[in-house]
Amino acid sequence: MYSKKVMEHFLNPRNMGKIDDPDGVGVAGNPVCGDTMTIYIKVKNNRIVDIKFQTFGCAAAIATSSMITELAKGKTIEEAEKITRDNVAFSSAHIIPEYDKCGRLHGHTYAIHAKIYGEVEENGIIVDFRFVKDVLKRIADELDHKILIPAKSHMVRIDGRNVKLSNGKKDYVFPIEDCAILPLKSSSAENLANYVMDKLIENLKDCENIVEIEVGVDEGFGQGARVRKKLK
């Protein structure tokens, strides 16, 4: 059984196609089932500015190709090489009314990163990576395919059934079930990183050996924000 995210990428794949004059081409395949994926990239100043894929395979192969290209777009070659199946990502839409370019409804495929600093315990670890990833994935799932609403913004009104956001020039009305209501003044990457940080700390409150946490939220195309918080 496929997850909702996999099915969405299968039914609406991103970046499908071919680049006629690519700067790089990669081919990968599964010798067991015969699936084959070809990825084409355009690179400028060591950054992936465009990426396309062609896949001959099942739903999982198409969805995986779509997701990996979304994660890689905008990253440097070195950053793209570090993408693994454990990357935590979500796709959402938002508006930042205070900025003209971001003041209209638009979306991102976000990626969440975390670094944990602390004292190594007798079992040889600071904290179980799997637990941290599970927490981050739960946070991402709550935001995935939602409109991010900063509930503390003076431009937002919630009437129980709908969310209204007015920027002085436009009025947006969204069904509340399509929204992620966040205790923020804006849904910038910086504020989202702080939101993820607070949720992560809440889940790690029993880990007394942790002294500092860093959380990053990337919007793609090399854009993102990092926050750090000392716990001791």
**Annotated catalytic residue, options 102, 113, 207, 214:** 102
Strands (E), the chain: 24-29, 36-44, 47-56, 88-94, 106-118, 147-150, 156-158, 162-166, 171-175, 179-182, 210-220, 223-230
What angle (nearest 5°) sits at the alpha carbon of residue 20, between those of residues 18 and 25? Answer: 65
Q: Choose among 221, 205, 206, 218: nearest CA to 229.
A: 205
**Whether 33 is catalytic:** no
Q: Is 219 a catalytic residue?
A: yes
Report DSSP state, residue 131.
H
What is d(CA 72, CA 124) in angstroms, rounded to the nearest whole number?
A: 33
E strand or H helix that includes residue 78: helix 77-81
Answer yes or no: 102 catalytic: yes
Compute and round to an integer the Cα radius of gyration of the chain: 19
**Strand duo 47-56 + 36-44: pairing:** antiparallel
Point out the catalytic residue in the list 79, 145, 190, 207: 145
Output the CA–CA distances (angstroms, integers) from residue 206 to 96, 136, 200, 202, in the order listed. Answer: 35, 17, 12, 9
Show which residues are catalytic. 102, 145, 219
